[in-house]
């Protein structure tokens, strides 16, 4: 995944693009670049490897002139992390510049075709075929800019969001096909437009957005009536249908820059962990009729699948236990990347519930496409309005937690648990009880995220930071919590962490336990007897036990108290581990917002 932003307006583009890149850096931080068109209709370009501010300190992006430009921060897929592979990329004649997020699957064939026509390539990326294809259609085939771009987009295979700028006309064109791209429209009569991977990139300038659909191609034009007065306009085409113009509504987002800024916190991850005091309540504030309608659809379906990736899958797995316990209802929980193996079970009366933070992860979108091809009904639970997943779904529940900037899922994970839990309560006919129990969490979560709790967990992090391995065990829905805990620790601290169902330790993994090997144990009232038996197996082999639960146990070497909340234990029990993972990263000198090799949503297979 990469971050894209473009600007066309009356103000200097470089400062706007730089600020946008800083807000998009969670999407990729291998390299970055900014390109503008100056008043003489010449490109000015600066790009290099490294993080945005590191490159800015070296090259000074603010030296770039002009009121139109594009910018990109890269997470490497095709080609190594080099200056040549950094975006933007130019056509051979230097007229077209392109930035790109996603994968062009047929780039080798396109590159071979262009090479046979005399085109030369200077990078290893798949992106570079795009500006040269546009040049091919314009210079060799004689098409105008829009027709050349349409032909180019129609020839591309794969999921992508692409933005390009034409040097001569200062026209900016963007298109999306399975990767995120949103149009920002200047507010209060401001004559400016933005294209970006995510709304926070331009939220300080406007809250008015147009959610683009797959196949949409938006053309932003700058009309120069005089040297002192310019106007801009836009049109949206469907590039799959040629020059057919489509209309999309302008909508206003409800959150502001405060939600997308770190404020007093050192990192977004910590800010978003502490925000769970509010976001868990917001996730629970769902429309009652919608929850009950989805519960009815679940009950009437002939087979229900819960699908997700990473943390979202853990949320699905956790709540699958709850569907069984509360509603005596069986639900199939499948990794989205493995869902195609189940396609022979899918029928028209099958219901698929797709859970995702971004709504743009390629594995979840591929799984939903498989379901739609079989005629299944699809319900999505997602945080990002206008995302590709929402466009593909028959009905959507939004998490309502605002932007999550840190790569690691924290507040969206607990929000997913809350929404799914409410569905389980509704299916059991006890939605009121579920809503009441979610409200009860406020004070517990407040205490779990308080500075005093974070200081106590910091002491544990100091000890565990020297560990090579950390093991985590749980039973029932807390087995899924153990999986999520291990994922959080290894994602951001790079310490090997592994989770097991408590009963599985004796079937092999216990051979890994040695003197002082840390083992985190999730305890709840309904699993206490069995999980403590498993914990003692670790203790007797010299392991260091870290207990998380409602009551201190003598055998625990370190204990974190989390009040018993029954069916909502998974929501609260994960929060101390989110804090622990964050503090391990800080102690070890890692950036918790930008863990190595990871990106917020994975848009490549």
Facing residues of 375 across strands? none
Strand partners, 174: 163, 218
| Alpha carbons 214 and 568: distance in angstroms, whole number | 37
Task: State the span(s) of the chain assigned CATH 3.40.50.10490.
Answer: 262-447, 450-599
Compute the distance between CA of residue 362 and CA of residue 368 in angstroms, rounded to an integer: 10
- Cα 302 to Cα 279: distance, rounded to the nearest angstrom: 33
pLDDT of amino acid 256:
66
355 C-beta neighbours (distance < 10 Å), count: 30
CA distance 16 to 6: 9
Which residue from 310, 294, 445 is spatially nearest to 381, judged by alpha carbons?
294
State the SS3 of 369-430.
HHHHHCCCEEEEEECCCCCHHHHHCCEEEECCCCCCCCCCCCHHHHHHHHHHHHHHHHHCCC
Q: What is the pLDDT at residue 225?
A: 42
pLDDT tens-digit readout, 80-107: 889 999 999 999 999 999 999 988 999 9
| Burial of 223: CB neighbours in 10 Å, binned 0-12, 13-18, 19+ | exposed
Q: Which residues of the chain fall below pLDDT 70?
A: 224-232, 255-260, 599-605
Determine contact, residues 70/200, Cβ cutoff 8 Å. no
In the chain, CATH 3.60.20.10 covers 3-259
Task: Give the pLDDT confidence of 147-173 residue by residue, as tens digits.
Answer: 999 999 999 998 899 999 999 999 999
At residue 110, the pLDDT reads 96
Nearest-CA neighbor of 525 among 483, 585, 498, 565?
565
Which fold would CATH assign to domain 262-447?
Rossmann fold (3.40.50)
Known catalytic membership, residue 51: no
Site of tokens 């840390």: 518
Q: 431-448 and 411-427 helices cross at what angle (nearest 10)?
A: 160
Structure tokens at 420: 């799914």
The pLDDT assigned to 11 comes to 94
Length of the chain (residues): 605
> Cα–Cα distances in Å, from 307 out to 161, 279, 364, 416, 426?
25, 22, 7, 12, 20
pLDDT tens string 367-414 = 999 999 999 999 999 998 888 899 999 999 999 998 888 889 999 999
Q: Does residue 572 carry a catalytic annotation?
A: no
For residue 387, how far is the Cα from the chain centroid? 11
Strands 160-166 and 96-102: what pairing? antiparallel
Q: Would you call 54 helix, strand, or coil by DSSP?
A: helix
Considering only the C-alpha atoms of the chain, give the largest distance between any 2 of them, rounded to a whole number of Å.
83
Catalytic residue among 2, 222, 309, 376: 2
Q: Which of 22, 51, 488, 600 is catalytic?
A: 600
CATH architecture of the domain with residue range 3-259: 4-Layer Sandwich (3.60)
417: which 2 tokens?
Answer: 């648990």
pLDDT score, position 255: 67
Overall pTM > 0.75: yes
**Residue 19 to residue 56: CA distance in whole angstroms:** 11
Neighbours of 568 (CB within 10 A): 22
SS3 at position 347: coil
Interval 45-62: pLDDT, tens: 999 999 899 999 999 999
Task: Look up the CATH number of domain 450-599.
Answer: 3.40.50.10490
* Predicted pLDDT at 510: 84
Dig out the tokens for 215 from the structure: 């196949």
Task: Give the pLDDT score at 568.
Answer: 97
């Amino acid at each position: 995944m990469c971050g894209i932003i473009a600007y066309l307006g009356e103000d200097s583009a470089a400062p706007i693009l730089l600020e946008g890149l800083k807000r998009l850096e969670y999407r990729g931080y291998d390299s970055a670049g900014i390109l503008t068109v100056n008043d003489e209709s010449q490109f000015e370009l600066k790009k290099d490897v490294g993080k945005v501010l590191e490159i800015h300190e070296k090259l000074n992006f603010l030296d770039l002139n002009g009121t139109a430009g594009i910018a990109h921060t890269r997470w490497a897929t095709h080609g190594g992390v080099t200056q040549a592979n950094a975006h933007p990329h130019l056509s051979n004649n230097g007229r077209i510049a392109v930035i790109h997020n996603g994968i062009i699957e047929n780039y080798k064939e396109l590159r071979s075709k262009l090479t046979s026509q005399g085109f030369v390539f200077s990078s290893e990326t798949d992106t570079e075929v795009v500006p040269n294809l546009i040049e091919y259609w314009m210079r060799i085939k004689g098409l105008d800019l829009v027709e050349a771009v349409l032909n180019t987009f129609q020839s591309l295979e794969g999921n992508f969001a692409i933005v390009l700028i034409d040097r001569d006309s200062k026209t900016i064109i963007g298109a999306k096909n399975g990767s995120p791209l949103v149009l920002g429209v200047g507010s209060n009569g401001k004559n400016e437009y933005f294209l970006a991977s995510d709304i926070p990139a331009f939220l300080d300038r406007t809250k008015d957005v147009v959610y683009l659909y797959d196949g949409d191609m938006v053309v932003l034009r700058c009309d120069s009536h005089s040297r002192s007065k310019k106007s801009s306009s836009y049109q949206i085409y469907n590039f799959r249908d040629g020059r057919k113009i489509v209309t999309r509504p302008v909508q206003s987002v409800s959150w502001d820059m405060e939600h997308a800024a770190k404020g007093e916190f050192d990192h977004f991850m910590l800010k978003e962990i502490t925000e769970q005091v509010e976001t868990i309540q917001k996730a629970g504030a769902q429309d009652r009729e919608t929850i009950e309608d989805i519960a009815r659809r679940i009950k009437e379906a002939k087979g229900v699948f819960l699908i997700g990736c990473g943390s979202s899958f853990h949320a699905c797995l956790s709540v699958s236990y709850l569907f069984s316990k509360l509603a005596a209802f069986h639900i199939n929980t499948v990794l989205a990347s493995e869902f195609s193996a189940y396609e022979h079970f899918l029928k028209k009366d099958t219901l698929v519930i797709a859970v995702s933070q971004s709504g743009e992860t390629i594995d979840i979108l591929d799984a939903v496409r498989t379901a739609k091809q079989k005629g299944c009904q699809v319900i999505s639970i997602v945080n990002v309005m206008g995302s590709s997943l929402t466009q593909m779904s028959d009905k959507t529940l939004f998490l309502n937690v605002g932007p999550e900037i840190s790569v690691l899922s924290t507040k969206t994970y607990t929000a997913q648990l809350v929404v799914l839990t409410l569905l389980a309560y509704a299916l059991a006919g006890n939605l009121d009880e579920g809503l009441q129990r979610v409200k009860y969490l406020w004070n517990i979560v407040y205490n779990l995220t308080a500075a005093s709790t974070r200081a106590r967990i910091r002491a544990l992090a100091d000890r565990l930071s020297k560990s090579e391995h950390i093991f985590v065990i749980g039973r029932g829905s807390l087995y899924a919590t153990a999986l999520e805990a291990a994922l959080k620790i290894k994602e951001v601290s790079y310490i090997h962490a592994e989770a097991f169902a408590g009963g599985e330790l004796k079937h092999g993994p216990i051979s890994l336990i040695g003197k002082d090997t840390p083992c985190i144990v999730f305890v709840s009232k309904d699993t206490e007897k069995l999980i403590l038996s498993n914990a003692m197996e670790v203790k007797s082999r010299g392991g260091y036990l870290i207990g998380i639960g409602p009551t201190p146990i003598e055998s625990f070497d370190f204990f974190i108290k989390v009040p018993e909340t029954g069916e909502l234990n998974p929501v609260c029990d994960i929060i101390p581990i989110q804090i622990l993972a964050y503090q391990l990263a800080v102690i070890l000198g890692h950036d918790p917002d930008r863990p190595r090799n990871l990106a917020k949503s994975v848009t490549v297979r």
